[in-house]
Amino acid sequence: MPSEAAPPSAHQPGVARLPAEHEGKRRNWRQVTLLGGLISADNGESSVVSVLFPALRAALGLPLAALGLLVGVGKLVGVVFGPLWVAVAQRYPRKTVLAVCAGLWGVWTIAAGFAQNYTQLLVLFTIAAIGVAGSGPLVNGLLADLFDDRTRGRATGYMYGLSALATGLSGPLLGLLSAVEDGWRYGFFLAGGIQVLFGVLILLFLRDPGVGASEEHAGAAAPTERALTWSQARRLLRNRSLLLICVQRLTTGQFVVLSFGVTFLVDVRGFGNAEASYLTVVFAVTYFAGTLLGGLATDAIHRRNPRTGRVAAMQFTVFAYALGAWAVTQVAWSSHGAYLALFAVLAFLQGCTPGINRPLVMSVTLPEARSAAFALMLSAEAAGWALTTVLVGYIGDAFGLEAAFLWVVVVLMLVNGALLSLLYRACPRDASAVHAELALRAAAAGVGGK
């Protein structure tokens, strides 16, 4: 048993440990930059379809509903394959699985550029989306292990902000390809090549901190058995907060605006494809601002009101988004700049979302179950994305995009915001249960706080 006169060691708290801790934090932020770049790369094939759909539609003779089906089916596969990639990553190194599914799988995105008809494009696009389905839950699980609850909002906002900024700035470059014969093919080639590049970078530079590494009682954060079991799945399905967040993601209409935004400006407001593609830059810059400022703000709100602060912040952004969506899609403005300004407001509000709902999920689930929880949440999100984009495509063909936006975005977001009221009771209860469980594990294992 150590005595009070024992010499200082690297394992005892003290000044000598601070430089290593500081370097560890800096290294964690570098990991976030790498993960943000990976997410951006994984958004590449969706960006090609969303930005270049007017050109793609002309080349292959497609109806508007084809855009909804491409985006919808691409997201729907995540409902099945997101959890499957998590199961694989719980049996093999997360780093390796992430590099394969979110990076090297980009060869299928490249293959989509060789499609000769809509059927081939749909099949290859869907196969490419199978790999991308694993990136969301695995990346969010890693992020929870890199940062503690006080800084997760800022870290999540930074990661998703970098991703959106890179994705949006590439929009005008993709828009220029609309003037090139078969330019949409080059878009897929470029997107797939970047995915493969990031797969290699993940293998070389990503550091997995280990499950539960950021928790207060890190040594007792996760049990030895990490495999995804039916028992674990049943526990997640009994988590009321997680289920309500899943319902919220299933019924959100936010994703429709970016997927159909360029086509809306071209078909409904009469802008050219290249001109409308600048929407992605405005969207990216203001989304990035929303992730950074929103993450900082919600972390501060959480510190002042740790019980329900994040829930209130999320509900506010949802209702504000519904109002902004009405203004940008239901009112005919006289200038291109007015649309860009209003889309910027929507992007800012949407950018606040990851810094709110990701930390909420992390706070109500145990460390070893977080990747599975994110797989469940992102599966619901993917299903909602698929459903809303398909609906907008078909309603847009029948009644016009303006009417489709009214019902699938504005009205649905109002319902969505009302549903969030149920989280005011559920989240504090489930977060307290997680904290109590970790404390019990620490006491049983004789592990002190950090």
Instruction: Summarize pLDDT for 122-140 with one digit per residue, the tens.
Output: 999 999 999 988 888 898 8
Q: Give the pLDDT of residue 239.
A: 92
Q: pLDDT tens for residues 173-195?
A: 777 887 788 888 898 999 999 99
Quote the pLDDT of residue 381: 86
More confident residue, 180 or 316: 316
* pLDDT at residue number 7: 36
Averaged pLDDT for residues 296-315 = 91
Higher per-residue confidence, 403 vs 7: 403
More confident residue, 2 or 371: 371
Q: Residue 269 is encoded by which pair of tokens?
A: 């407001």
- The model's pTM: 0.72
Least confident interval from 168-182, 324-338, 413-427, 428-442: 168-182
Contact 434, 362 (CB under 8 A): no
3-state secondary structure of 332: coil
- Provide mean pLDDT across the span 419-446: 90
Tell me the pLDDT band of 328, cut-offs 50, 70 and 90: very high
- Contact 420/318 with Cβ under 8 angstroms? yes
Q: Is the pLDDT of residue 394 over 80?
A: yes
Residue 103 near residue 115 (C-beta atoms within 8 A): no
Task: Report how far residue 167's alpha carbon sits from residue 317's, in angstroms, rounded to the nearest whole number.
Answer: 22
Between residues 63 and 350, the one the model is more confident about:
350
Helix residue spans in 211-353 (DSSP H):
230-237, 240-250, 254-267, 273-276, 279-304, 309-330, 336-352
Which of 61-65, 305-309, 420-424 has the least mean pLDDT? 61-65
In whole angstroms, what separates CA 409 from the centre of its chain?
19
Amino acid type, 411: V
More confident residue, 24 or 275: 275
The pLDDT score that the predictor gives to residue 4 is 35
d(Cα 50, Cα 204) in Å, to the nearest integer? 31
222 pLDDT more than 80: no
Which of 311, 315, 349, 330 has its CA nearest to residue 406? 330
pLDDT band at 230 (very low <50, low <70, confident <90, very high): low
Q: Is the pLDDT of residue 172 over 50?
A: yes
Mean pLDDT of the region 96-103? 92
Mean pLDDT of the 416-427 span = 95
Per-residue confidence band for 70, with pLDDT thresholds at 50, 70 and 90: confident
Confidence band for 248, pLDDT divided at 50, 70 and 90:
very high
- Predicted confidence band of residue 444 (pLDDT cuts 50, 70, 90): confident
CA distance 355 to 250: 18
Whether residue 139 contacts residue 39, with contact meaning beta carbons closer than 8 Å, is answered with yes
- Could you report the per-residue pLDDT of 16-63, keeping only the tens digit for each? 444 445 555 677 888 888 898 888 887 777 788 877 887 888 888 888
How many Cα neighbours within 13 Å face the side chain of 61? 3
What burial class does residue 5 get, using C-beta atoms within 10 Å of its C-beta: 0-12 exposed, 13-18 middle, 19+ buried?
exposed
Using CA atoms, how far apart are residues 265 and 178, in angstroms rounded to an integer?
Answer: 15
Do the Cβ atoms of 352 and 122 come closer than 8 Å?
no
Contact predicate 442/217, CB 8 Å: yes
